Every structure is written in C-alpha cells, then in structure tokens.
Amino acid sequence: MKKRMIHFLVILMIGLYLLLPVAATFLYSISKMWSNTILPSGYTFSWYQELFTDPRFIAALGRSLWICIISLGLSILTMVVTVFVITLYLPKLERFFQAIVMLPYAIPGVVAAVALIKTYSSGPIVISGTVWIVIGAYYIHILPYMYQGIRNSLRTIDAKRLMEAAEVLGASKINAFVHVVLPNIIPGIQVSSLLSFSILFGEFVLANMLVGGQYETIQIYLMSRLQENGHFSSAIVITYFVIILILSWMMLKLGTRLQNKERKEQVS
C-alpha cells in the first residue's frame, strides 16, 4: 500500500512538472489581467478571437502545414524504399549510410543554413530564398528519425526472412514488399513520421535563416508577435499545441485504418 502511494506520488509529481507550464500558459492566454494575484482576475477569449481572425496567422499555419507535409511525404516515399533496400540487400552500405543520415545531428542549424544558402545561391540549382530550399533542408533535418524508425521496424519483424518466405511461396519482390513487409512496418513509419512532423512544425532556425519573412511559417509568426503581448503569444502557443495534438491523433487514426483495411482485404 505504502509502495503504491510512493509510485502514485512520483507519477503525480512528474505529471505536475510537465503539465503545470502548459496549464499556466493556457490560463494566461484566457486571462484579462494576471499580475499580483494567484489566479487571473478576469477571463476572456479575446486573444484567441484576435488570433483566429488574423489572416497572417491563418496563412502562416497553412504554410507550415504545407512545407511539413511535403517534406515528410517526400521523406516517407524515398526513405522507406531506400532503407529497405540497404538493410536487406546492401548491408555493406549500412554503416556508410548511417554515418550520412546522422550528420544533421552533428551540424548546428545555423551552420547548415549558411552552407545551404551559399551552395544554392549560384548554379546549377538556384533555389536560395524560395520555399524549396526549406523543404530540402527539412528533408535532411528529419533523416535521422526516419532512418532509425524504419530500420528498427524492419529489423524487429525480420523483414529479410519474411521476404524470403513470401518469395518461396511465389510472390515477386514487389508483391512481397507491398503485402508482407509494408503492412508490418506501418506502426514504425507512423511513429517516425509523428516525431519528424512535430520537430518540423516547431522548427525556427532553418526556416528563419533560409526564407525568413518572405515565407512566414507559424514559428516565424510566433517570434514576430512574441514581443507585442504576453497573453496573445500564450494563445498562439496553446493553439500550436492543440494543432500538434489534433494532427498526431489524425495520423495515428490513419495508420490504424490503413492496417485494418489491409486485414479486411485479406479476409474477403
């Protein structure tokens, strides 16, 4: 009983530690005044109203979503196939590949941004200052997460053995990949995607340095309005959290639906 109490207490404290800042931010975002009292002296949703009616905010949100989805989509499409081929058929290249994908961890955002601007401001590919350079940088930025997640999933399910079993049963390599390997690594892809998405959605340094005010993302918008009013920026932060929450939930649902669909197809 005493032990259970201690466990409960530990969890409660960690919960409080994690939730308190969010709760305080939320309270601040709906308060009229909060200076020398324990709780706010009045409540209002006017900050949210102001935020949601600001066309700059809606546009920034749309831009953020757009570049995150494009970068993530490109990453999923290319990385699943690449990691699959390397893990199963070119294991000798694995070390080399692993070293390359870990580079974004080692290079600070500012350094990466300056290098990218320098490289892409003159031929053959001139994309400096456009949204495409951000998408390219984001693609690289999430490589480590995507690579690790997909590789671990492939190893967990022993993809090599599953491919062999399917091939001996008469399936072509593509059929075996689509019907056997892919459905089993969806949960892994999903987790990596969620993680990558949250990282990209909250990314500021690369976006700010590569395109800055020319292509205002949600983080750049947040930064520019942070100085104006504490209540207002709290409302932006909470909205940002809620959006991440909704998107994560949607992606999880989508993943489960994809798996269920696969199962139903097999039964019929």
Query: Looking at 42-50, 114-122, 129-137, 179-187, which segment touches other proteins (CB under 8 A)?
Result: 179-187
Which of 77, 165, 178, 246 contacts other proteins by CB under 8 A?
Answer: 165
The amino acid sitting at 255 is G
Phi, psi for residue 34 in degrees, rounded to 5: -150, 85
Residue 166: which residues within 8 A CB-CB, separation 6 or more?
175, 176, 179, 180
Query: Looking at 113-121, 167-175, 215-223, 241-249, which segment touches other proteins (CB under 8 A)?
Result: 167-175
* Total residues at interface with other proteins (CB under 8 A): 23
Query: What is the rounded CA–CA span in Å between residue 213 and residue 268?
Result: 53
Which of 19, 158, 178, 261 contacts other proteins by CB under 8 A?
Answer: 158
Query: Looking at 20-28, 170-178, 199-207, 224-232, which segment touches other proteins (CB under 8 A)?
Result: 170-178
Residue keyed to tokens 């200052």: 129
By CB under 8 A, is residue 254 in contact with other proteins? no
Which of 184, 198, 224, 248 contacts other proteins by CB under 8 A?
Answer: 184
Query: What is the rounded CA–CA span in Å between residue 229 and residue 194?
Result: 31
Query: What is the rounded CA–CA span in Å between residue 258 and residue 88?
Result: 24
By CB under 8 A, is residue 255 in contact with other proteins? no
Whether the upstream peptide bond of residue 124 has omega within 30° of 0, thus cis, is yes
> Which stretches of the chain bind other proteins, using CB under 8 A?
157-158, 161-162, 164-172, 175, 179-180, 183-184, 259, 262-263, 266-267
